[in-house]
Amino acid sequence: MTWIAESYAKINLGLHVLERLPTGYHQIETGFCFIEWSDRFEVMQAPETKLDISDEEIPTGEGNLINKAIRALDRYVGLKQHYHIKVDKRIPAGAGLGGGSSNAALTLRMLNKIEKMGLSDDELIDLSRDLGADIPFFIKGATGIGRGVGHDIEPLDIQPDHWIVTCFPNESSSTVEAYQHCMPKPEPDFDLKKTLTETDIEEWRYTLTNDLEQAVFPRIHVAGNLKDQMYEFGAHYASMTGSGSAVYGIFDQDFVATNAYKGFLDLNLPSNLTRPGFKPDYGIYRKD
């Protein structure tokens, strides 16, 4: 029996880096929403654990977040079976799109369902606490504001009711380095929740910032150029997502967004077009 599901990417709507913590992590505040870019998972019972990823640049050993998620679940409840997991990888890695975290969260949700473990979202979040700061958002599967190191999610309907064009400039960004090079600001210049819920998207370019841009753009110039290009294509708002290097633009007219999307594809840059108010299909389906 084969189980199928989609592992969606996220983008960050604004990101405050508030404080560097003694653990090396940072206290942040960020809006999380989804885009229509996803990896496709096929999971089958197998004599031994096996991971196949269509993108050969992503290591499939112990360090892969899918394998880490399997081990964490096994430690927590003890898995009854082994699995062969095939991933059609479409989300670029090192893009700030949370591809690895999304994969880890889906692995936990799928095995929880396949083995009828009955673990709650909070239990899955607990057992995966050390795997990645973005994972709780992907387990919950609802948009919202992330606080603390990103783990504490306040659910909030902040999926933009606009078109989103996302583009990866083909140069990966390291999350560790992005945080190392940023300057924490304990008193941010704007109220993130208020901006996301009460301010028109047209106004965001004057307020809503991602603090990690200042750490990434000087080192990955193409990412900064891509943001300028989004505005040239007619975006109402453009920003780097997370630790980069992907950049997204928010557009209110479909033909302007489509034109931008096609423009990036013509430049051979991996890109995505997301519909207004997009909601991911979080279903896990059985293919007999």
Ligand X SMILES: C[C@](O)(CO)[C@H](O)COP(=O)(O)OP(=O)(O)OC[C@H]1O[C@@H](n2ccc(N)nc2=O)[C@H](O)[C@@H]1O
Interface residues with ligand ATP (CB under 6 A)? 58-59, 64-66, 93-101, 103, 134, 175, 242-243
For residue 287, indicate whether it is catalytic: no
Among 10, 68, 140, 227, the active-site one is 10
Closest CA to 132 of 237, 22, 242, 220: 242
The answer to whether 281 and 109 are in contact (CB under 8 A) is no
Is position 65 annotated in a ligand binding site?
no
> What totals of helices (H) and strands (E) does the chain contain, helices first?
10, 11
Is position 97 annotated in a ligand binding site?
yes
Q: Which stretch binds ligand X (CB under 6 A): 41-49, 173-181, 228-236, 263-271?
A: 173-181
**Residue numbers 67-96 binding ligand X by CB under 6 A:** 96
Is position 24 annotated in a ligand binding site?
no
* Residue 103 binding result from ligand ATP, ligand X, none, given CB thresholds of 5 to 8 Å by partner type: ligand ATP
Closer by beta carbon to ligand X, 66 or else 114: 66
* Residue 93 binding result from ligand X, ligand ATP, none, given CB thresholds of 5 to 8 Å by partner type: ligand ATP
* DSSP string computed for 37-65: EEEEEEEEEESS-EEEES-TTS--STTSH
Q: Which residues contact 102 (CB under 8 A, 6 or more apart)?
A: 7, 8, 9, 10, 39, 91, 134, 138
1 lines the binding site for ligand X (CB under 6 A): no
Is position 141 annotated in a ligand binding site?
no
Q: Which residues contact 120 (CB under 8 A, 6 or more apart)?
A: none
Residues 249 and 228: their CA atoms lie apart, in Å, by 10
Among 89, 134, 211, 227, the active-site one is 134
Which amino acid type is present at position 215?
A
- Considering only residues 11, 28, 125, 240, which one is a binding residue for ligand X as defined by CB under 6 A? 28
* Residue 179 binding result from ligand X, ligand ATP, none, given CB thresholds of 5 to 8 Å by partner type: ligand X
Min dist. Cβ of residue 73 to ligand X (A): 18
Structure token digits, residue 162? 């606009």
Site size toward ligand X (CB under 6 A) is 19
The answer to whether 103 and 63 are in contact (CB under 8 A) is no
The answer to whether 31 and 196 are in contact (CB under 8 A) is yes
Closer by beta carbon to ligand ATP, 58 or else 273: 58
* Residue 149 binding result from ligand X, ligand ATP, none, given CB thresholds of 5 to 8 Å by partner type: ligand X
* DSSP string computed for 155-193: E-----SSEEEEE--S----HHHHHHTS---SS-SS-HH
The residues of the shown chain that bind ligand X, judged by CB under 6 A, are: 12, 24-26, 28, 30, 96, 98, 101, 132-134, 149-150, 175-176, 179, 242-243
Binding site listing: 92-102
Catalytically annotated residues: 10, 134
Residue ranges for the binding site for ATP? 92-102
